[in-house]
Amino acid sequence: MKTLSNEVWIKPDFRCEFGKNISIGNNVYINLGCIILDCAEVIIGNHVLIVPSLGIYAVNHGFDPEERIAGACMGTPVYIEDNVWISGDVKILAGVTIGEGSIIGGWQHCYKKHSSKSYRRWEPMQGNPSNYKRK
């Protein structure tokens, strides 16, 4: 791990690609079956709760077929800000920022939308594709 702060709990079957690009803040709980492909930086803030089967993929293959055949991969950072709760079986793709205080409901696929790459602060998300749910 690049940075592993205090009071971090990581349940078994945690897997990562390199580990050297992952930073985890204080008071973070990562439940069973987390996979992080950290070809680029992955930063998890403070006071983050993660339910089982999270996938964070800070990498993507080339879009051009010839690039894919040649093995091209592109890394783009993923940021999870402070006070976030991520529910079960969520997938977070390259280039996404989960804003402070967000709640990401189960079975979400969080991906870069249009020109924005952030999920708003203090907003619950639900459904697939993700939609903001009023409090």
pLDDT digits (tens, 9 = 90+) for 34-68: 999 999 999 999 999 999 999 999 998 888 889 88
pLDDT at 50: 97
Q: Which long-range contacts (CB under 8 A, 24 or more apart) does 42-46 make?
A: 42/77, 42/78, 43/77, 43/78, 43/79, 43/80, 44/80, 45/79, 45/80, 45/81, 45/82, 45/83, 45/84, 45/100, 46/5, 46/82, 46/83
Annotation says 109 is catalytic: no
Q: Which residues, given as ranges, of the chain have pLDDT below 50?
A: 114-116
pLDDT at 65: 86
pLDDT at 115: 36
User: Which of 47, 61, 109, 114 is the catalytic position?
Assistant: 61
Q: What's the predicted TM-score (pTM) here? A: 0.85
pLDDT at 64: 85
pLDDT at 128: 61
